[in-house]
Structure 1
Amino acid sequence: MSDQEMVHETAPRGLKTWLWIVGIVSIVMGALAVLFPFAATLAAELVIGVILVASGILELVRAFAMRHNGSLTWNLLFGLAALVAGGILLAWPLQGIVTLTIVLGVFFLLGGAFKLVASFGMRPFPGWGWIGFSGALSVLLGMLLLFGLPGTALWAVGLLVGIDLIFLGVAEIAMASAIERD
């Protein structure tokens, strides 16, 4: 039995239907994020703020519940840090968007530099140039985000989330199509 036959036989009923549904929803949501990048950026920033607040509250509860294990202070500090960071993002969302854009820009710059260095170390192998190209694009994107501040903060995160959602949706539909062909 081939690997594809095994996947087809072991795939739960309805899997391809759910892949199609989630794929289409991902593409639609991604397209909306690309069309309305500021709204998507703001939504992403607020979601991160809510997650941090919820995580901080849960961490504080856990710290007190497990206070006898000797790590109360560190758990409290972590919980307070998450709670404060999330609260700041929720209280000042526009500043939070700028901060997220700075973090993203620095990530692209550093990640791109690391990929460039790695590509030169891979030079005898086929395809090393693609890693270098990816690194150069990341560096360029990082510079675009950072040198374009504060304007890039209004669209960057939402646009990138939208593009990611579109590619996720396409990948899910491709998986559903592959299951259907078997």
Structure 2
Amino acid sequence: MTHHEMIPDTAPRGLKTWLWIVGVVSIVMGVLAMLFPFAATLAAELVIGAILLASGVLELVRAFAMRQSGNLFWNALFGLTAMVAGGLLLAWPMQGVVTITIVLGVFFLLGGAFKLAAAFGMRPFAGWGWVGFSGALSVLLGVLLLFGLPGTAFWAIGILVGIDLIFLGTAEIAMASAIDRD
């Protein structure tokens, strides 16, 4: 399949404009998240709490609606667990920020170690060094997050969300720029 076969000849009407709008808004939001990392971190924690609480309520409703299946207890227990987790994050957001940062730090630390091990197992294939470099950076990030606690909890998630939004916005603008260029 050639490059031209993978991209439709005509983009849906208005797509280019929307990609530009969403791209610019994503970049602006990303820059704001990086300028105000505590606010972005707190907002992300509260959104996660609200999502868990809402999904817990929906799971309880589903559990009782499907009680004939014989799994009422386990389904209701899952719903209650999600509700409690969400409620705790919403009731004590500062502790939730620290907890989420710990989970993220452990994820980076372990994920990085696994990537390093995989990289050395990939030798002598081309690119193994990049996987190793990525793993080393993940380990370093995990160490920085964990050993910097509780201070890192107040900025880390906001910075990471900001970086992600900036890259997303850049990708959307690149896609908008590519429309009609081929």
Name the TM tier (shorter chain).
over 0.9
1:117 is matched with 117
Aligned length: 182
Alpha-carbon deviations, 1:22-54, whole Å to 9, x = none? 111100000000000000000000000000000
Give the share of equivalent positions with the same residue, in percent: 82
Separation in 2, partners of 1:6, 1:166? 26
Could you tell me which runs of 5 or more consecutive residues in structure 1 were left unpaired when the two chains were aligned.
none
CA RMSD of aligned residues (A): 1.3
Change (3 A) 1:128 1:154: same
Does the Cα contact within 8 Å between 1:16 and 1:180 map onto a contact in 2?
Answer: no
Separation in 2, partners of 1:161, 1:2? 35
Separation in 2, partners of 1:52, 1:162? 22
Separation in 1, partners of 2:155, 2:6? 44
1:172 is matched with 172
For 2:169, the aligned partner's letter is G
2:80 is matched with 80
Of the structure 1 ranges 7-16 and 28-37, higher mean CA displacement relative to structure 2 is found in 7-16
Could you tell me which runs of 5 or more consecutive residues in structure 2 were left unpaired when the two chains were aligned.
none
For 1:62, the aligned partner's letter is R
Q: CA deviation at 1:6?
A: 5.7
Does the Cα contact within 8 Å between 1:8 and 1:179 map onto a contact in 2?
Answer: no
> What is the SS of the residue equivalent to 1:180?
coil
For normalisation by structure 2, the TM-score amounts to 0.96
For normalisation by structure 1, the TM-score amounts to 0.96
2:154 is matched with 154
